Amino acid sequence: MADVDALPEVPPGAEDNAAPKADSAAVEAEVDLSMFDLSKKKKKKKKKVKTEGDDEAGGGDGEDREEGEGRYNYETLLERIQNLLHVNNPELAERSRITLKPPQLMRMGTRKTLWANFQDICQLMKRQPEHVFSFVVAELGTEGSIDGNQRLVLRGKYVPKYIESLLRKYIVEYVTCQMCRSPNTTLTRDPVSRLFFVHCQDCGSSRSVAPIRSGFHAQTRADRRALRNAVK
């Protein structure tokens, strides 16, 4: 008979121990895989429900609200308000501006300056010429008058750029609304407190303004002569 290689002897109980090791390895693999299962932690997307009447109220496309919350975001509400303004009140949606003509100045002799379009600028600002005159004279620290043609005559020599800076200062203080920045305002004086108030015709706000105070005025020879004549 041919020799048959002897098989290696298997220790008793080795087969029984091998099966549990394989099973435990499979269990460990299942445990490791289950640790990376993130299906339970995924967030569900919220469904958006388009409300009825958005298009009619100016909502337009994309103006939805989240289901169950009943709240709109800020951008959606702002866009709806702007659309309603354009539809119902187009004059409020557009910012009004005042286009002033540059002051037309010319020399009168050697010591005076004539402001030719003074009346036109006062009408564009919707302000009384007397109030604008008081402001200009107080800021310049000089004297002046309004002639029969509603032109302003100032004592001294002035350039248009300097007068333009005074107009900007006057508009900020006595014309522009501080709430909505609209120039569509009126200036009235309270009969009791004798204070001036700026009333906005667009947003309805009202504010008091500072009274016009005259600045430093150097006394000239003509002033001293007039004072002596008044004493006599």
Q: What is the mean pLDDT of residues 57-74?
A: 57
**What pLDDT does residue 98 have?**
67
| Number of residues written out for the chain | 232
Neighbours of 46 (CB within 10 A): 10
- Which of these ranges, 79-93, 180-194, 202-216, has the smallest mean pLDDT? 79-93
pLDDT of residue 42: 52
Alpha carbons 175 and 185: distance in angstroms, whole number: 6
Topology (CATH) of 105-209:
Defensin A-like (3.30.30)
The reported pLDDT for the residue numbered 94 is 59
Cα separation, 202 vs 193, whole angstroms? 25
Amino acid 95: pLDDT: 60
Mean confidence (pLDDT) of the chain: 74
Taking a C-beta distance cutoff of 8 angstroms, is the pair 143, 137 a contact?
yes
Which residue would you say has higher pLDDT here, 204 or 152?
Answer: 152
Residue 220: is its pLDDT beyond 80?
no
The predicted structure's pLDDT at residue 83: 82
Residue 72 pLDDT level (bands cut at 50, 70, 90):
confident
